[in-house]
Chains A and B, each alone.
Chain A
Amino acid sequence: MHVYLDNNATTMVDPSVVQAMIPFFSDIYGNPNSLHRYGTASHPAITKAINQMYKGINASDKDDIIFTSCATESNNWVLKSVWIDKIVNGDKNHIVTSEIEHPSVLSTCRFLEEQGVKVTYLPVNDQGIVEAHTLRSFITEKTALVSIMWANNETGMIFPIKEIGEICKEKGVLFHTDGVQAVGKIPVDMQDVHVDFMSMSAHKFHGPKGIGALYIRNSEALTPLLHGGEHMGGRRSGTLNVPYIVGMGKAIELATENIEEKMASIRAKRDRLEDALLGQLEDVFTVGNRENRTPNTILISIRGVEGEGMLWDLNNALIGASTGSACASEDLEANTVMLAIGADNELAHTGIRLSLSRFTTDTEIDYVIESFTKAVLRLRAISSSYAKVQPTPGGEAGECNIHH
Chain B
Amino acid sequence: MAKNDLLGGSLWDQYSNKVTTLMNNPNNQGEITQEECDAAGHKLIVADFGAESCGDAVRLYWEVDPATDTIVKSKFKSFGCGTAIASSDMMAELCIGKTVQQAVKITNIDVEKSLRDDPETPAVPPQKMHCSVMAYDVIKKAAGLYLGVDESSFEDEIIVCECARVSLGTLREVIKLNDLKTIEQITDYTKAGGFCKSCIKPGGHEAREYYLVDILADVRREMDEDKMRSAADAGAHGDFTAMTLVQKIKAIDSVIDESIRQFLIMDGGNMEVIDIKDSPDYIDVYIRYLGACNGCASSSTGTLYAIEATLKEKLSSKIRVLPI
Please report the C-alpha to C-alpha distance between residue A401 and residue B82 in the assembled complex, in whole angstroms.
Answer: 22
- Taking A306-B56, A387-B31, A387-B77 as contacts, is the C-beta distance between A332 and B127 under 8 angstroms? yes
Q: Which residues of the partner chain B approach A328 to less than 8 Å between Cβ atoms? A: 11, 81
Q: Which residues of the partner chain B approach A307 to less than 8 Å between Cβ atoms? A: 81
B55 touches A334 (CB 8 A): yes
Residues 142 to 164 of chain B near chain A (Cβ within 8 Å): 142, 144-145
Q: Which residues of the partner chain A approach B80 to less than 8 Å between Cβ atoms? A: 306, 309, 327
A114 shortest CB reach to chain B, Å: 17
Q: Which residues of the partner chain B approach A308 to less than 8 Å between Cβ atoms? A: 81-82
A171 shortest CB reach to chain B, Å: 35
Q: Which residues of the partner chain A approach B202 to less than 8 Å between Cβ atoms? A: 403
Q: Is the interface of A mostly helix, strand, loop or mixed?
A: loop
A252 shortest CB reach to chain B, Å: 28
Please report the C-alpha to C-alpha distance between residue A344 and residue B53 in the assembled complex, in whole angstroms.
Answer: 8
Number of residues in A with C-beta < 8 Å to the partner? 46
B192 shortest CB reach to chain A, Å: 18
B79 touches A395 (CB 8 A): no
B57-65, B107-115, B242-250, B295-303 - interface stretch: B57-65
A346 touches B52 (CB 8 A): yes
Q: Which residue of B lies closest to A309 (CB)?
A: B81
B59 touches A345 (CB 8 A): no
A383: interface (CB < 8 Å): yes
B105 shortest CB reach to chain A, Å: 20
Q: Which residues of the partner chain B approach A315 to less than 8 Å between Cβ atoms? A: 12
Please report the C-alpha to C-alpha distance between residue A313 and residue B53 in the assembled complex, in whole angstroms.
Answer: 21
Type the 1/0 row for B23-65, where 1 means its CB is closer than 8 Å to any CB of A. 1101001011110000000001111111111111111010000
Q: Which residues of the partner chain A approach B81 to less than 8 Å between Cβ atoms? A: 306-309, 312, 326-328
Q: Which residues of the partner chain B approach A1 to less than 8 Å between Cβ atoms? A: none
A392 touches B145 (CB 8 A): yes
B84: interface (CB < 8 Å): yes
B44 touches A392 (CB 8 A): yes
B212 shortest CB reach to chain A, Å: 16
A402 touches B46 (CB 8 A): no
Type the 1/0 row for A329-342, where 1 means its CB is closer than 8 Å to any CB of B. 01111100000000
Type the 1/0 row for B63-90, where 1 means its CB is closer than 8 Å to any CB of A. 0000000000000011111111100000
Please report the C-alpha to C-alpha distance between residue A330 and residue B79 in the assembled complex, in whole angstroms.
Answer: 18
A249: interface (CB < 8 Å): no
B31 touches A402 (CB 8 A): no
Please report the C-alpha to C-alpha distance between residue A229 and residue B130 in the assembled complex, in whole angstroms.
Answer: 51
A382 touches B142 (CB 8 A): no
Q: Is the interface of B mostly helix, strand, loop or mixed?
A: mixed
B239: interface (CB < 8 Å): no
B128 touches A327 (CB 8 A): yes
B272: interface (CB < 8 Å): no
- Taking A306-B80, A309-B85, A392-B145 as contacts, is the C-beta distance between A403 and B203 under 8 angstroms? yes
B176: interface (CB < 8 Å): no
Type the 1/0 row for A305-331, where 1 means its CB is closer than 8 Å to any CB of B. 111110010011000000001111011
A19: interface (CB < 8 Å): no
B49 touches A397 (CB 8 A): yes
Q: Which residues of the partner chain A approach B59 to less than 8 Å between Cβ atoms? A: 384, 387, 391
Please report the C-alpha to C-alpha distance between residue A348 and residue B77 in the assembled complex, in whole angstroms.
Answer: 20
Residues 94 to 143 of chain B near chain A (Cβ within 8 Å): 127-128, 130-131, 141-142
A394: interface (CB < 8 Å): yes
B49 touches A306 (CB 8 A): no
B205 touches A391 (CB 8 A): no
Q: Which residue of B lies closest to A303 (CB)?
A: B52
Q: Which residues of the partner chain B approach A304 to less than 8 Å between Cβ atoms? A: 52, 79
Please report the C-alpha to C-alpha distance between residue A308 and residue B15 in the assembled complex, in whole angstroms.
Answer: 14
Residue pairs across A and B with Cβ atoms less than 8 A apart, 18 shown, are A305-B79, A309-B80, A309-B81, A316-B24, A325-B55, A327-B56, A327-B83, A328-B11, A345-B53, A348-B53, A349-B55, A382-B78, A382-B85, A384-B77, A385-B57, A385-B79, A395-B45, A395-B46
Q: Lowest 6 A-B CB distances belong to which pairs?
A: A345-B53, A308-B81, A397-B48, A327-B81, A384-B77, A326-B55
Q: A349-B52, A382-B26, A397-B49 are in contact. List 8 more A-B contacts (CB 8 A).
A: A307-B81, A326-B81, A345-B52, A345-B53, A349-B54, A387-B77, A389-B46, A395-B145
